[in-house]
Structure 1
Amino acid sequence: MKVKVLVRNPDDYLRETKKDIHKVPRNYDPALHPLETPREYTRALNAVKLERVFALPFIGSLDGHRDGVTCLGKHPDHLSWLYSGACDGELKLWDVAKRKIMHTVQAHDGFVRAMTFSQETASLYTVGDDKLIKQWKTEQEDGSDLKAPVNTVLTSGMLTGISHHRSKPVMATCGEACSLWEHSRAQPIKTFQWGVDSLRGIRFNQVEENILAACGSDRSIILYDMRESTPVRKVVLKMRSNSLCWNPMEAFIFTVANEDFNLYTFDMRRLRLPINVHKDHTSAVIDVDYSPTGKEFVTGSYDKTIRIYNARQSYSRDIYHTKRMQRLTCTAWSLDDRFVYCGSDEMNIRIWKARASEKLGVVKPREKMAVQVNAKLIEKFAHHPAIKRIKRHRHVPKHVYNATSEMQQSQNAARRKEFNVRTHSKRPLPVVSEKEKVIVSEHQ
């Protein structure tokens, strides 16, 4: 038995307020709308222009350090809490929402090199130039003092990085070697070495929890498995990598920030070639951090700019800069996917919107729907020349503009030379892709 029922949704014909316009039913039959594409193109053009008009990414700065900022740490349970370490050994906890300092600690003698959180013990671990690993409580319990370390471990060498396992009471440090530590022990439970005098930028994989990676001073990227007794794999690039970050959504993907102005995204199952080369920076890339969605990442460079990349694209979708911002030392993407933080050597921490034209505050349903429709229209007509030109246009500092032009000229000259050599040689050399040129060797 078939029953036909008339359904009327009040949202289709009732107004939200008395001053709102009356909703008119529309027939979506394409035969009745012969000029739909030109109208949509005009709307897309207006939408992309408005997107650039409302692009105001800078929110504010956190001013209070007396020396350059070296590292940032995001609290896993409090979205508005941000830790920062400086060159003079100071550790500060900020309330980003109120833009004020919650407390300050003289954590180390010398640089605070890195920090990491342990969700199991609700603690923050820091390492510095004084060869110490210090544990700090992040929340006050039973009258505990947040300004005094809970535990201090003296190590045999200077440490440059630290990372904590996602679920086990294990942390990894890097310096002269990669060492694994347990909370209850003052000596490392395991040490990995593979022909390199120093390591930096160590990170645990957040999905494959037993895997970790570090950047070596011999231009290598080394993968470790904490269940094994020796390192697993190693790939050597043409220049040194400064930092590394795992994709939080794709277990095998990680991105490294390199001295050759580029970033390289690798699949750890196949290190012979990077799966993507991310360009646009005009100086060494210092730090990289993924968004919680794993679709984008933010980078900081010595060219005094921040760039935001789509993880699957080679060129940045946005560039942030200010007149007073100097060389970037660290970057972080907030855990609610809305903000980006950066620290630089002129003692400031800056807060930016992850999407430059996004409205902050309450967004009504109709407004939210209009934003989504405009975004889809821009995506639909993204390859039309006028829309593409407006969407990609950015004003950049003079030194970045000049450096970009110089790099393009040198790259064009190199390509021209390679083409001429191949054309006029009796036995032309094989064509080598950009991805292959950066890899020197791979070891297992």
Structure 2
Amino acid sequence: MKVKVLSRNPDDFVRETKYDIQRVPRNYDPVLNPFEVGREYTRALNATKLERVFAKPFLTSLDGHRDGVNCMAKHPKSLSTLLSGACDGEVKVWDLTRRECVRTIQAHEGFVRGMVVRFCGTSFFTVGDDRTIKQWNMEAPGYGQEEEPLSTILGKTVFTGIDHHQSDAVYVTCGQQVDVWDEQRSSPVRSFSWGDASFSSVRFNPVETEILASCATDRSIVLYDMRDAAPLKKLIMSMNSNTLCWNPMEAFYFTAANEDYNLYTYDMRHLDKPVTVHMDHVSAALDVDYSPTGREFVSSSFDKTVRIFAKDSGTSREIYHTKRMQHVICVKWSADNKYILSGSDEMNIRLWKANAAEKLGKLAPREREAVNYNEKLKEKFQHHPKIRRIAKHRHLPKPVYNQAKELKFMKESRRRKEMNVRKHSKPGSVPVVSEKQKHVVAVVK
């Protein structure tokens, strides 16, 4: 009797390791794998549970300021450099790799209201309550030399914000009016104003670099074009906006942090209603900053929390808080999309992971494959009730939890009252107004 024997080369299916892990060939035919969905669901459930177990977003705090941190600025060329300004006029330059302060400057008398690094990274500008704009060298002075600004401009009123052009030697400030400055001149080359209101913040569009947007104290958001002599549009809302940030990947979109606890994403071409209303904070939203991918943004609030929103989601995917953190005044998303920095009024700057459960450091190839596989499984089963509940659950501070419950009750009461009024009124006399349209008062051109 003749028998044919299968023979295989061991090098094809045995790995060169001390454990000799054998490579098992798999057939992915669904007919031969009838329990595949059940196995994948179990793996997705375990991956979701482990993600919440290993979610430890807080990395470190940067101590050194003697007053509340009022503003921060990112370096456009260096990931490890951060600048922060405090309420006592002090500016600090931090090395995030070593987690220490490398330079301290007494820049202003009173609050440091705003700061920005020049597009080439060689110098930075600060504005403060002493009505001055100062330009500083990014490199520290030599041994024995005094710290002096490169240039100082004395204004007529207090400056409340500053931003720099992406590629030109032009910067913009705001206060009683919005001023556009050339770095070589001591007077503004163009000034914009609309009414008697003052301005709290101003931002250049990072894509359409000639476009500006500012938040004013008369509850408005004003758009400008530097090539025009007058402002373009004015959006009036029901409450003040504290600051705004442009989407770095989509030139038409910006997000404003408002006093009514919400954040609003607008399309600058259609200001009659916001694209999305982001509604999870329980106190005034103070600052907002986009991720470099433009898919998410981070916001800080007077409720002592930091939240991360998807650009098209009305609820946050993450909330960061600690027992000692007080009102979070400013927040920044790092240029490598991995970290978030928050400055609060108890003199601390905190460093967080943008993805709370992400493992930092270099991953082995098999570990990277396992992480990618688990991410795909969680995405596949994300709408299953049990997995969705575990993935969305967050422990909240007791005051935030109680206030969120109270706000939910108040909103439901207003909705029920409106329905009762509409039911007992003449048909059409009480129109249905969507949540997006409730907060826009007018758009003026």
Tell me the residue number matched to 1:209. 209
Query: Is 1:403 equivalent to 2:403 in the alignment?
Result: yes
Assess, with a 3 A threshold, how the Cα gap between structure 1 residues 425 and 70 changes in structure 2: closer, same or farther.
same
Query: Is 1:105 equivalent to 2:91 in the alignment?
Result: no
Q: Give how far 1:20 is off.
A: 5.8
Map Cα deviations across residues 199-236 of structure 1 (whole Å, 9 max, x no partner). Answer: 01210000000001000000000000000000001100
Tell me the residue number matched to 1:421. 421
Query: Is 1:286 equivalent to 2:251 in the alignment?
Result: no
Tell me the residue number matched to 1:52. 52
Q: Give how far 1:197 is off.
A: 2.2
Alpha-carbon distance in structure 2 between the residues aligned to 1:12 and 1:415:
67
Assess, with a 3 A threshold, how the Cα gap between structure 1 residues 338 and 146 changes in structure 2: closer, same or farther.
farther
The amino acid of 2:37's aligned partner reads T
Assess, with a 3 A threshold, how the Cα gap between structure 1 residues 83 and 198 changes in structure 2: closer, same or farther.
same
Q: Give how far 1:18 is off.
A: 3.0
Tell me the residue number matched to 2:340. 340
Percentage of identical aligned residues: 57
Alpha-carbon distance in structure 2 between the residues aligned to 1:104 and 1:190:
33
Q: Secondary structure at the match of 1:149?
A: coil
Tell me the residue number matched to 1:440. 441
Tell me the residue number matched to 2:270. 270
Q: Secondary structure at the match of 2:386?
A: helix
Alpha-carbon distance in structure 2 between the residues aligned to 1:194 and 1:145:
45
Alpha-carbon distance in structure 2 between the residues aligned to 1:374 and 1:219:
45
The amino acid of 2:128's aligned partner reads G
Q: Secondary structure at the match of 1:286?
A: strand
The amino acid of 1:406's aligned partner reads E
Tell me the residue number matched to 1:173. 173
Assess, with a 3 A threshold, how the Cα gap between structure 1 residues 13 and 420 changes in structure 2: closer, same or farther.
farther
Q: Give how far 1:121 is off.
A: 6.5
The amino acid of 2:194's aligned partner reads W
CA contact (8 A) 1:196 1:217 kept: no
Alignment of 1:16-55 (within 5 A): 17-19=17-19, 21-55=21-55
Q: Give how far 1:147 is off.
A: 3.1
Tell me the residue number matched to 2:115. 115
Tell me the residue number matched to 2:156. 156
Alpha-carbon distance in structure 2 between the residues aligned to 1:133 and 1:189:
15
Assess, with a 3 A threshold, how the Cα gap between structure 1 residues 121 and 329 changes in structure 2: closer, same or farther.
closer
Map Cα deviations across residues 300-349 of structure 1 (whole Å, 9 max, x no partner). Answer: 00000000111111100000000000001000001111100000000000
Assess, with a 3 A threshold, how the Cα gap between structure 1 residues 124 and 39 changes in structure 2: closer, same or farther.
same
Assess, with a 3 A threshold, how the Cα gap between structure 1 residues 118 and 154 changes in structure 2: closer, same or farther.
same
Tell me the residue number matched to 1:198. 198
Alpha-carbon distance in structure 2 between the residues aligned to 1:365 and 1:174:
50
Alpha-carbon distance in structure 2 between the residues aligned to 1:362 and 1:433:
48
Q: Give how far 1:118 is off.
A: 1.2
CA contact (8 A) 1:84 1:92 kept: yes
Alpha-carbon distance in structure 2 between the residues aligned to 1:439 and 1:37:
47
CA contact (8 A) 2:131 2:156 kept: yes
Q: Give how far 1:168 is off.
A: 1.0
Q: Secondary structure at the match of 1:294?
A: coil
The amino acid of 1:136's aligned partner reads W
Map Cα deviations across residues 338-363 of structure 1 (whole Å, 9 max, x no partner). Answer: 10000000000000000000001111
Q: Give how far 1:34 is off.
A: 1.2
TM-score, length basis structure 2: 0.95
TM-score, length basis structure 1: 0.95
Q: Give how far 1:78 is off.
A: 1.2
Q: Give how far 1:146 is off.
A: 8.6
Assess, with a 3 A threshold, how the Cα gap between structure 1 residues 220 and 32 changes in structure 2: closer, same or farther.
same
Alpha-carbon distance in structure 2 between the residues aligned to 1:225 and 1:113:
24
Map Cα deviations across residues 57-105 of structure 1 (whole Å, 9 max, x no partner). Answer: 0001000100000001111111111110000000000111111110100
The amino acid of 1:245's aligned partner reads C
Alignment of 1:317-396 (within 5 A): 317-396=317-396
The amino acid of 2:190's aligned partner reads K
CA contact (8 A) 2:14 2:21 kept: no
Q: Secondary structure at the match of 2:71?
A: strand
Map Cα deviations across residues 146-193 of structure 1 (whole Å, 9 max, x no partner). Answer: 932111111111000001110111101000000000001000000001
Q: Give how far 1:119 is off.
A: 2.0
The amino acid of 1:54's aligned partner reads F
Alpha-carbon distance in structure 2 between the residues aligned to 1:438 and 1:12:
66
Assess, with a 3 A threshold, how the Cα gap between structure 1 residues 425 and 326 changes in structure 2: closer, same or farther.
same
CA contact (8 A) 2:341 2:350 kept: yes
Map Cα deviations across residues 238-283 of structure 1 (whole Å, 9 max, x no partner). Answer: 0000010001111111000000000000010111110000011000
Q: Secondary structure at the match of 1:176?
A: coil
Gapped regions of structure 2 (runs ≥ 5): 1-9
Assess, with a 3 A threshold, how the Cα gap between structure 1 residues 141 and 318 changes in structure 2: closer, same or farther.
same
Assess, with a 3 A threshold, how the Cα gap between structure 1 residues 421 and 157 changes in structure 2: closer, same or farther.
same
Q: Secondary structure at the match of 1:46?
A: helix
The amino acid of 1:15's aligned partner reads R
Aligned residues: 435
Q: Secondary structure at the match of 1:400?
A: helix
Alpha-carbon distance in structure 2 between the residues aligned to 1:232 and 1:84:
32
Alpha-carbon distance in structure 2 between the residues aligned to 1:13 and 1:366:
16
